Amino acid sequence: MARVEQITDKAQVAAEWHPLYDRIVAQRGRVAGPYSILLHAPGVADRVDQVAAALRSDSQVSAADHVVAALAVARAKDCLFVWSVQAPNARRNSVSEEVIAAIKERRTNGLTEDQADIVSYAQQVVASNRVDANTFSRLKDRHGVRWLVELTTIAGHFALICGINNAFEVPPSPQGDQL
């Protein structure tokens, strides 16, 4: 159980924020996880949702690479909710069970060189606040600067989402994977 009441019903939100609530439900199927907390500060929830939407729709980072980065951050932060949602999302985006298990078990065997670099990069961004020069250069050379900026933003975004879920002890999705 979360540390504060989770907002999961439209009636819990002031009428002026009902369009935001509806947008979150339209994109995610329900209000849960970080948004059940963020809606206590609806203006912030709106901006966080806008960033999340931009990272999904306006990014050169593929959906599969996006979710690999999300899993890497969830694992680095031991975030039960993000893992529970992103592991099934990874499967929907053709990320193999072997890759999901490797990230979960904190190992690199089973990952391609690019996936290993994405995992390492995302985890370095959120855990050590720096990225080693070799990993940075390999990803920049492989994908370009814009892609790398977007990957960095994805990692930072998931660090924010994990921080909210962990601070408020949001439980994992019962339909999702357990970390």
> Please, what sign has the CA dihedral across residues 66, 70, 72, 73?
positive
| 159 and 78 assigned to the same domain | yes
Are residues 173 and 31 in contact, defined by beta-carbon separation less than 8 angstroms? no
| 18 and 88 assigned to the same domain | no
What rounded mean pLDDT belongs to the chain?
A: 97
Task: Give how far Cα 133 sits from Cα of 98, 121, 138, 154, Å.
Answer: 27, 10, 9, 19
**How many domains does the chain divide into?**
2
Q: Percent of the chain, pLDDT > 70?
A: 100
| 76 and 128 assigned to the same domain | yes
pLDDT value for 14? 97
Task: Give how far Cα 30 sits from Cα of 8, 23, 26, 109, Å.
Answer: 8, 10, 7, 35
- Is 179 within the bounds of a domain? no
pLDDT value for 129? 86
Neighbours of 25 (CB within 10 A): 14
- Is 3 within the bounds of a domain? no
pLDDT value for 49? 96
Tokens of 138: 């390999």
CA distance 85 to 73: 13
**pLDDT tens sequence across 37-62:** 999 999 999 999 999 999 999 999 99
The three-state secondary structure class of 169 is: coil
State pTM to two decimals: 0.95
Task: Check pLDDT > 90 for residue 1.
Answer: no
pLDDT value for 84? 97
| 20 and 89 assigned to the same domain | no
pLDDT value for 38? 98
Task: Give how far Cα 163 sits from Cα of 49, 80, 132, 166, Å.
Answer: 15, 11, 24, 5
| 72 and 153 assigned to the same domain | yes
- Is 124 within the bounds of a domain? yes
Q: Which residues contact 63 (CB under 8 A, 6 or more apart)?
A: 56, 93
**pLDDT tens sequence across 98-119:** 999 999 999 999 999 999 999 9
Mean per-residue pLDDT for 135-149?
Answer: 98
Q: Which residues contact 121 (CB under 8 A, 6 or more apart)?
A: 69, 131, 135, 136, 139, 151, 152, 155
- Domain hosting 143: range is 63-167
Helices (H) and strands (E) in the chain, counts: 9, 0
pLDDT value for 118? 98
Mean per-residue pLDDT for 77-85?
Answer: 97
